[in-house]
Structure 1
Amino acid sequence: MNPALQFGQADPDSDYRLRPAVFGLVFHDEKIACVRVTRDTPYYDLPGGAVDGDETETQALIREFVEETGMTVRPLHRIAEAGQFFRKSDGDPVNNVGGFWIAERLALDPARKIEADHELVWLHPRTALAELRHDAHAWAVAKWLRR
């Protein structure tokens, strides 16, 4: 599975595990939903993550939004696909490959969020372009802005 667009620099001495993934763009009051992840060095991501087992991208996106933000979403349409080489917080080298979806916010219940180190934040899209950790995420936001 080779994406049409690949972001990040692969370390030639590392074996990057293919990790099917999906991320969502939800807009509200001219801002985009992001997650601020508080680990050694805090960073911003689009909500989303790995597609588990037999899940579809849309099933994974719905699950990931609830786990990371407490938000229930409805995926509307897939706007892009890209890969992103990176090292997870445990050092595991992975290549996230998958879709970026526009999704609709249906409900928000912070009590449903289970990832304690993730916090829902609403960023202006131009701020998100500068702050998102992964180039693939910033590219997806830029693609949406240029629609």
Structure 2
Amino acid sequence: MTKDYIKALRKKVGHEPIILNFAGGILANDQNKILLQKRSDFDAWGLPGGALEFGESAQEACVREFLEETGLKVRTKSLLGVSTKFIQRYPNQDVAQAVTIEFVVELVEKTSKEVSSETLDLKYFSKNKLPKIFNKQHQLFIYHYFDKDYPFIN
């Protein structure tokens, strides 16, 4: 597995539009509140997850990203959905078409691992008290989860 795949790719293409593959998950507590991450890049809330490293499966990326961003070990329970048409513009001027595979995950254990600098805060939110979500793709996954309308492809 190649580490920092996106950094290596961006060194070659700069901020040019590219297609990237992402994976993430929705973790719900016993009150069906979902865990959201306040992201440092957008200073806004979204679902834990991130880009696949070269040679990594979507499930492996989801589990790895969850641990890095939340300090929680999770396992994937089911496919939530796949979204393929969303264009993301990042604060650093990068542009990417995000092909995202999202899972419903369950908690395996909490760790004492420090979370990455990508995470400003972590909180559970109910369907009726969601904060502003940083992009429409993450909103789509959240709506499908709470509507129990999955797996889906968009």
User: Normalised by the size of structure 1, how large is the TM-score?
Assistant: 0.80
Counterpart of 2:123?
Answer: 121
Task: Tell me how far apart the structure 1 counterparts of residues 51 and 40 of structure 2 sit (CA, whole Å).
Answer: 19
Structure 2 equivalent of residue 25 of structure 1:
26
Please identify runs of 4+ aligned residues in structure 1 that moved more than 3 A.
Answer: none
* Aligned partner of residue 123 in structure 2, secondary structure: strand
User: Is contact 2:26-2:102 (8 Å) kept?
Assistant: yes
Paired residues of 1:68 and 1:120 also in contact (CA < 8 A): no
Residue of structure 1 in register with 2:12 after alignment: none
* Counterpart contact for 1:86–1:93, Cα < 8 Å: yes
Q: 1:52 to 1:106 in 2, by over 3 A?
A: same
| Structure 1 counterpart SS, 2:66 | helix
- Whether the 8 Å CA contact 1:32–1:123 is kept in 2: the answer is yes
Letter in 1 for 2:33: K
Structure 2: segments with no counterpart, 5+ residues: 1-14, 149-154
Indicate conservation of the 8 Å contact 1:66/1:113, yes or no. Answer: no
User: 1:139 is matched by which residue type in structure 2?
Assistant: L
**Identity, % of aligned positions:** 19
Q: Specify whether residues 126 and 137 from structure 1 end up closer, same or farther in structure 2 by C-alpha distance, changes over 3 A only.
A: farther
- 1:35-65 CA-partner distances (Å, limit 9, x unpaired): 01235x5201100010110100110000000
1-side partners of 2:114 and 2:89: how far apart? 24
Matched residue type, 2:141: A
Provide TM-score, normalisation by structure 2: 0.77
Pair 1:69 & 2:70 matched: yes
Partner residue, 2:102: 100
Alignment of 1:1-147 (within 5 A): 15-28=16-29, 29-39=31-41, 42-83=43-84, 84-109=86-111, 111-118=112-119, 119-128=121-130, 131-147=132-148
Q: 1:25 to 1:51 in 2, by over 3 A?
A: same
TM superposition shift of 1:93: 0.4
Is 1:18–1:94's contact at 8 Å kept on the other side of the alignment?
yes
Cα RMSD (Å):
1.8
Shift of 1:15: 4.5
Unaligned runs of 5+ in 1: 1-13
